[in-house]
């Protein structure tokens, strides 16, 4: 998957993935969304962001998790899927 709005610069923010070269880490955007802030609230707090930045941050986070093997008895991927 190609991410055009996510940048990684070893000289900026310690090389953590950020949004379009800004000092706004992907993890910050995902955390705000996960903690209940709406897209509009995030955009108000970070006026340099665009709605597409939030979408790509969420896709990036999903891909990052997908790339890791989840281990341990308490983590069962099926438990996170909605019942059909």
Which of the four pLDDT bands, split at 50, 70 and 90, describes residue 19? very high
Residue 35 confidence (pLDDT): 96
- Dihedral of CA 10/53/3/80: which sign? positive
**Strand pairing partners for 19?**
6
Residue 65 confidence (pLDDT): 85
Report the topology of domain 6-80: Arc Repressor Mutant, subunit A (1.10.10)
Pairing state between β 6-7 and 18-19: antiparallel
- Report the predicted TM-score, pTM, of the whole model to 2 decimal places: 0.77
pLDDT class of 61 with cuts at 50, 70, 90: very high
- Share the mean pLDDT of the chain: 85
How confident is the model over 22-55, as pLDDT tens digits?
999 999 999 999 999 999 999 999 999 999 999 9
Average pLDDT of the segment spanning 59-82: 64
Contact 26, 42 (CB under 8 A): no
């Amino acid at each position: 998957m190609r991410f055009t709005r996510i940048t990684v610069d070893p000289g900026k923010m310690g090389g953590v993935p950020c949004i379009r070269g800004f000092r706004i880490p992907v993890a910050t955007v995902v955390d705000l969304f996960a903690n209940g802030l709406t897209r509009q609230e995030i955009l108000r707090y970070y006026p340099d962001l665009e709605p597409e930045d939030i979408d790509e941050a969420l896709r990036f986070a999903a891909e990052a998790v997908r790339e890791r093997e989840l281990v341990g008895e308490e983590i069962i991927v099926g438990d996170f899927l909605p019942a059909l």
